[in-house]
Structures are given as structure tokens and as C-alpha cells.
Amino acid sequence: MEEKWSESSNAIRPLSLRRFDIAPPAWNLPMTSWLNRAESIVVAGGLFFALTVLPPVILTTRYQAQEQTCRDRLRHVGVAFAGYEQAHGGLPPRRTGFNDGNPYGGWGEQILPHLGVTERIGQYDSDYDFFDPKNKAVVESQLPELLCPSSPAGRAVEIQSQASTKSLNPDKDTVFTCLAGSVDFISSNGVLLAREGYGLNALSQARNNGNQRQPMTDNEPSPLSRITDGLSNTLLLIEQAGRPAVWRKKEQKPGAGQFGVSPNARGAWAGWGSIAFGAAHAETGETPGRGVGTDCSVNCNNWFGIYGFHPDGANVLFCDGSVRFVSTKLDPLTFAYLTIRDDGHIIEYEDFNKN
């Protein structure tokens, strides 16, 4: 007997389903039951594309975005350098407190007023060391403007030191500790050359090998007029990412940062901001190189070379404010020439951007 809705009962009894032709849901059937052959091929092709082709494309796009962001940030730093130069008549010192007893610092803290971050992190006081408790809160701030997004995150440089002789801090006995924010850009204070091959020829020109022939100098501003090779032919900053960790050819090595926890340790944005530039051994990534054209200038050594976490090269900032991406094929001698401000070598763009 056919079931009907009951009006005399609170319970609702459904009519018999035998009157309806209800098909089972499609997801309970084999794919061949609801997709024809052509549709199955299209779906399979789409899955193959999504799983094999699309991920590398997405990864490449991500690398390109990070590379562009890094370039934009470095260009912004160049604008801050220009602001400092206009205000002080020269480029900022690459390091302060170099053999003169004054408080330790570097170009990073010098350009802060022109970088546009003071309201965010607070006021830095250059009458005290960068690791001093007076500057601790400011210096321990991470500044995205001085970092590349492709570099490892969460880095800090530990510093342990007493106050400098001429610091306004009267306490000269306490060892202060600071976990300084890191930086991915650095300037030069010399040229590191191999002792043979192209290095031997370059070293014969003794005046080119000093540590006072770079755009910035120590303890005081340096006028642009000293850069006689031309602002577009002289490196101001290079990408040298990953500090304080030791990186060789995209592999992190064991060990502490360069110069340990001393106040002259590199990698802190407010600390000494320079190191000798030089190419490394192409196979080991260690310096110096062999003195041959295959020595590696880019992405082999993050202590002395140009180093970025980009697939094919890294960014550099020239004294004219331009930012360029140099490939891993950068000639080691060209790298040295670009480091010196007045060696008479005029480098064409094609010379350091060869593929």
C-alpha cells in the first residue's frame, strides 16, 4: 500500500521512493560513467600540468619577485646615500671608530635619517657605540630596507664589547651584549687578489691595492670628487647576503660569523659596513682564487665576494645610484677594477654582464 503524508500525526512519513526514478550521485560511480574519453584526457592533462609544469613556473615567478624587491630596496638605499652626500658633502664613512677611539658604527647608522625609518625604530645616538645600551633597542631592530627577501630570515649578529674610549658612556668596564639586526649589503675597504695569474699583474700596480682607494673611507665623509673613474664605474655597495652564517656556493658551512662577537664583526647594519672584495676558488668557494679567469666573483663566497640567494647572480649598487644585476660570470679582474675608485679602468656594461 502506498504511503501518504499523515495529517493526524506529528511524525511525517515520506511517500514511497518507488514512484521516483532517482539516480545515484555521480561521485559514487566510476569516472568512466560520468566522463567520456575526451573529457578524461583533458582532466588528466590538467592534473599533469598542475603537478609538473605549474610549480616551476610559480617558483620562477617567486624568484623574480624577490630579486626585484631586493633591487628596489638597494635603490632606496642609494637614495639615502645621496641624501647624506648632499647634507654632508660626501659619502658616509664605511666604519667609524677605526683606530681612533671613537664609538663604533658604520654607514648603516649614518644614513638612518635619510632612510626614513627613524620614526619606526627610534633615534640613534652616534656619541655611543652601536652595541651600547643607549642604542640597543634601535640596533636590534630588523630593517627590511637593508635585507633581501630571498635571504634566510631571522638573523642577528651577536656583539660583546666594552665601550670605546671616546664613547660618552662613562662605564668602560662592563661588557655589553647586543643582538644586532643584520644587513645584506656591504661596501669595500680593499681588494683581495690572488697571488698569481691576473692577481700578480694587478698587484704590480701597488697603489691599486691599498684600502683607501674605495668610494668610502673610514671615520669621515668622503667627497665624490675622489671617484675619478666615474660614478657609474665604481661600486658603492654589493649584495653580500646571509651573514653572520658562512655560505659557500649556496651551502651553509659550520662556524661562527666573521670576526666572532667582536665589535668589528661584519653583518650588523649599524656596525662596520665594509670588507675587502675579491673572487674565490670556483670549486671550493674559498678565498683567494687561483688567479685564473674562472675564479668566482658571484654567489660563491659571502665573506668577500658578491653573494645573493638568487639563481643566476646578485645585485650591486653603483656610486651614481644605479642598481644592476650581475651574473655569476663576472670576470674577477673586472670585479677588482669596479672596486677601485681611481685606477683609470673604464668598464663597459657588457664587460660585467656577460652570460
Q: DSSP labels for 192-209?
A: ---SSTHHHHHHTSGGGG
Report the amino acid identity of residue 132: D
Asked whether 241 and 186 are in contact (CB, 8 A), the reply is: no
CA distance 127 to 118: 17
Give me the mean pLDDT over the 101-108 stretch: 98
Q: Which residue's entry shows cell 681588494?
A: 191
- For residue 199, the model assigns a pLDDT of 81
The pLDDT of residue 175: 98
1 lies in a domain?
no
Report pLDDT for 341: 94
56's grid cell: 616551476
The C-alpha torsion from 61 through 250 and 277 to 320, rounded to 10°, is 10
Residue 11 has pLDDT above 50, yes or no: no
User: Is residue 140 in a domain?
Assistant: yes
In this prediction, residues 185-189 reach a mean pLDDT of: 97
Q: What is the mean pLDDT of residues 313-330?
A: 96
**Average pLDDT estimate for 119-137:** 97
Mean pLDDT of the chain: 86
Domain range for 94 is 59-352
Total tally of structural domains belonging to the chain: 1
**Residue 36 is assigned to a structural domain of this protein:** no
Structural domain includes residue 257? yes
Following DSSP, what letter does each residue of 233-284 receive, concatenated? GSEEEEEB-STTSEEETTEEESS--TTTTSTT-S-BTTS--EEEE--B-TTT
Question: Is 40 part of any domain?
Answer: no
Segment 1-17 mean pLDDT: 43
> How far does CA 315 lie from the centroid of its chain?
8
Burial per residue of 31-69, b for 16 or more beta-carbon CB atoms within 10 angstroms, e otherwise: eeeebeeeeeeeeeeeeeeeeeeeeeeeeeeeeeebbee
CB burial of 201-215 (b: ≥16 within 10 Å; e: otherwise) equals ebeeeeebbeeebbb
Rounded mean pLDDT of 169-177? Answer: 98
Examine residue 29 and state whether it is found in any structural domain, yes or no: no
- This prediction has a pTM of 0.82
Q: Confirm whether 50 is domain-assigned.
A: no
If pLDDT is split at 50, 70 and 90, which confidence band does 19 have? very low
Average pLDDT of the segment spanning 175-199: 93
Are 142 and 111 in contact by the 8 Å Cβ rule? The answer is no
Mean pLDDT, rounded, for 318-341: 94
For residues 157 and 175, give the distance between their C-alpha atoms in angstroms, rounded to a whole number.
16
Domain membership of residue 284 (yes or no) is yes
